[in-house]
Structure 1
Amino acid sequence: MALIRAADVHAFLVGEAFMRAPDPGARLRELFYAEGRTMSLRPPAHAGLRHVALFVEPFEACERFYVDLLGMHVEWRPDADNVYLTSGHDNLALHRGPPPAAQGQRLDHIGLLLVRIEDVDPWHEFLRDNGVPIVAAPRTHRDGARSFYCLDPAGNRVQIIFHPPLAGALRPLR
């Protein structure tokens, strides 16, 4: 730490494990140290989890579900067995066929974020009225979120959710 300060770098100790300091471009960088290992710079922060890929069957019915009912758009169709969908700031890849036998691969659900809590129940009614299997009715969670669960045609659980910590950063895509 003394060497870094001697080089006139404004840095501060965050704990015994690492420190943070701006790079020449004023981006915050973190140094990590573990006994027996050398220090390394953490790369720039990522933009969040924005891509999910699912093996689905029936393929065409799943595409219709995400496009026609949930309002996603086809971003790219490289071939007849793959389609990439988007809502504008995310990417959902649908791959035709059952998942390969992967031990330990367990997906509980994927989520579609809503901007307003008042939109949860109308989405529930719309999907129910369109024959989408509902797994859990709308409910308000202890953290103030409100959601329900349904199934896509391949049986994947989809949570339609208003989540307060994320809602402030969202805007409707239409």
Structure 2
Amino acid sequence: MELAQVRLLVSDFPACYRFYADVLGLKPQSGAAEGPYEKFSPATGSAGIALQDRAMMSQVLGELGEPASGHRSLVVLRVDDLDAHCEAITARGGSLVHGPAPMTDRMRVAHLKDPEGNLVELQEWLLLRG
């Protein structure tokens, strides 16, 4: 298992994009200033910080309250075999809240929550960026 990113669920995507790109100086992966997703890379290391539009994740999971009462972040772990990891997690007492299911044409995902209610995403890349 490899830590892929910490993803922040945001309501004002453009403002957050400007903060991470312009204020912190992190390099955006695609330049998607209006969202719904962008990954920012630090100068060194492979993991980064990503922004995800809260409304998009709400559609995927069928729930996500506003920031005061809802999720603020999403820990993302990249795995080679999503189905095998999901089976192992449920065998160890974990409970999936979504998936395994396609997220995009590039990946499949599954979601679960930690004891505090924080979201964890397991992602299996189907196609790597060229």
TM-score (norm 2): 0.42
- Higher RCO structure (Cα 8 Å, ≥6 apart): 2
TM-score (norm 1): 0.33
